[in-house]
Structure 1
C-alpha cells in the first residue's frame, strides 16, 4: 500500500488554511444584460384585437428623454402581445373622438422645460376638456412620472391624477436607487409581487400635494430617510449647507413614507398613477415593468391578465 509523506500532508493543510472556502455561494443563472440599443416597435396586425394605448407626449423637462422613454414603453408593451401602442407629440388640440379610439391613455408629458419655469406649454382648453370627459365616461388613464411635475395650478388636472409636485414643499429625495414598498399586495395590479422591490436611476417624489377630492388608493410607498441626505452619499447636487441635521429635522415629511403608486376612480374611468420611471435605465428593471404593464391593463379593463415578471415575484422568506 502506498503512503503519503508527512511533508505533503502538512503542505496541503497549510494551503487549506491560507485559502479558506468562499464565503459566498456562486450561483449560475440564465441571464443576459439588458439591450442598450432601442428597437423600433413594428406595426401590429389589427386582427389580434389588442388593447389600444395612446401615449400623449411632446413636451417634457430637460432631465427626461421622453422620446427614448416613449419608444421603450411602446416596445415593452407591444412585446407582451396585449397592447397596440401609438404615440402623439401634439395634443394641443386633442379631441374626444381622437381619444375614444383608444382603451387607455398614458400621459408622459410635462408642460415645462425646467420644473421651476414660470412659462409652460399647455394644451388648449378643449383638449383638457376632452381628456377629462374621456376618463369620466369610462376611458382608462395612466399618469406616468413627469405627469406630476405640472398641473399644480390646474385644479381639475390635479384631481384627475391625484397629486402634483409643489415647488418649495415637494422634493425629489436624493437616492437614485431605493426600495419601493408594495403596501397593498391584494390589488389586481400588485397581486403576486414581492413586498419590497427596487427601482434604479429614479426619482423618489416626496411630500406631494395630494388632491383632497381624489379618493386615491395607495399601492406602493417609498421612505424618505434623513440619513440619505448625508453629503457623502448625495454628491454636489444636494448642497450640504441646505441639509444640516437641524434643517433636515425641520423638513416636512422627512423620515416618513410617501405614496409612489396609486389608483383612483374618475367618473366611470380608472386612473393608475405611477411616479416612478425616470428614464430608459429605470425601465430596464422588471419590477417597474411589472407595475407599468399590469397597471396599464387594469386602467384599460379593470382586470389584470399579464403575469408578474420573474424579478418582481413574491417568494418564500422562511
Structure 2
C-alpha cells in the first residue's frame, strides 16, 4: 500500500472518529411561520371566551396593526378564544365592554414616547374601562400600554406601573432572558425557570403604583455592562451612558418586574411588558404567557397547556 493511500485512510478514520464523538440532537422542529394569516370568524356555537383588543393608535416603533392580527390569530388557533379588535374606543361604553370576558389593551396615546401631546379617550371611556374591571371583567395590559397614562392616576393603578421619561428606560438588549420567579401561579405553572424573548424591550425602573397590589411573575435583569457602546449600539449615545452616569441611574444592575397580576375591584388584571412586535410573538415563552395570562384574566382558571419549548425540564 502506497504512502498516499495510507494517509488518506487515516484522514477518513479521523473524520469518522470526530463525527462519532459529536452528539447530534434531532428534534421535531419547524421554523416559525413568518407570513401573517388573517384570523377567520369563529362559530358562535363554540362558546369561546370573548376577547376585545382595544387599539387604534400607538407609538412609531410599534406595528400595532400587525401585532393585533398576530394576537388574534394566535388566540383563535387555540380554540379557546373568539377575538375582536376595535380601533375606536374614544367614546367606549360599559355596555360595549360587558359583551366580552376580557379586554386587551394594545394602545399608546403618543406617537413618540416623550411627546407632550397625546390622544386619549373621553372621560366616559376611561370610566367604562374602570367600571368594567371593577365589576369583574378581565384585563390584559400589553407592552406599549405602559408607555402612556403616567399623568392619569387611576389608569396607573389599573395596570400597575408606567414608564416615565425621566426615570424609566429601555435597556439595550433586544434579546434577553426572562426569569419566571413564581412558577406556582396557574399562569406560569409548568414553565421553565428562564425563557428568552427576542426583538423585544426590557422596560426598566418603571414607576410602580403604590396602590396597585401586584404579584410579580417574571423579571429581567438590567446590567450596566449592557450599556457598553460595543454592545448597546448607536441608539445609545456614549456620552449619555458614561460610567458615572450609569452609576447614578436608578435600578441599575437589578431585577425589574416584566410580568405580574393584580386584582382591581372584582376583576383580574394580567400585565405583561414584553411583546414588542410580531417577531417576539413567534416564540413559545411569550406565547405561553400571553395565552395563559389572557385565559386567567378572562375566567380565573388556566386550561391551556405550556407550549413545548417553554416547558419545565429536569436540570439534574
TM-score (norm 1): 0.96
Question: Post-superposition shift, 1:10?
Answer: 5.5
- d(CA) in 2 for partners of 1:164 and 1:223? 18
Q: Which runs of 5+ in 2 are unaligned?
A: none
- Aligned pairs for 1:1-318 (under 5 A) are 11-17=8-14, 21-22=18-19, 24-318=22-316
Give the secondary-structure state (helix, strand or coil) at the position aligned to 2:41.
Answer: coil
Give the secondary-structure state (helix, strand or coil) at the position aligned to 2:18.
Answer: coil
- d(CA) in 2 for partners of 1:226 and 1:250? 11
- d(CA) in 1 for partners of 2:195 and 2:284? 9
Give the secondary-structure state (helix, strand or coil) at the position aligned to 2:256.
Answer: strand
Question: Post-superposition shift, 1:25?
Answer: 2.5
- d(CA) in 2 for partners of 1:206 and 1:133? 30
- d(CA) in 2 for partners of 1:175 and 1:16? 44
Question: Post-superposition shift, 1:248?
Answer: 1.2
- d(CA) in 1 for partners of 2:37 and 2:4? 63
Q: Which runs of 5+ in 1 are unaligned?
A: none
Question: Post-superposition shift, 1:242?
Answer: 1.2
Give the paired residue count: 315
Question: Post-superposition shift, 1:239?
Answer: 0.7
- d(CA) in 2 for partners of 1:86 and 1:200? 26
- d(CA) in 2 for partners of 1:221 and 1:99? 31
Give the secondary-structure state (helix, strand or coil) at the position aligned to 2:235.
Answer: coil
Question: Post-superposition shift, 1:12?
Answer: 2.9
Question: Post-superposition shift, 1:16?
Answer: 4.2
TM-score (norm 2): 0.96
Flag as ranges the 4+ runs of structure 1 deviating above 4 A. Answer: 4-11, 14-20
- d(CA) in 2 for partners of 1:315 and 1:263? 25
- d(CA) in 1 for partners of 2:165 and 2:4? 75
Encode CA deviations 1:136-163: one digit per residue, 9 max, x unaligned. Answer: 0000000000000000000000000000
- d(CA) in 2 for partners of 1:62 and 1:226? 27
| RMSD value, Cα | 1.6
- d(CA) in 2 for partners of 1:16 and 1:295? 54
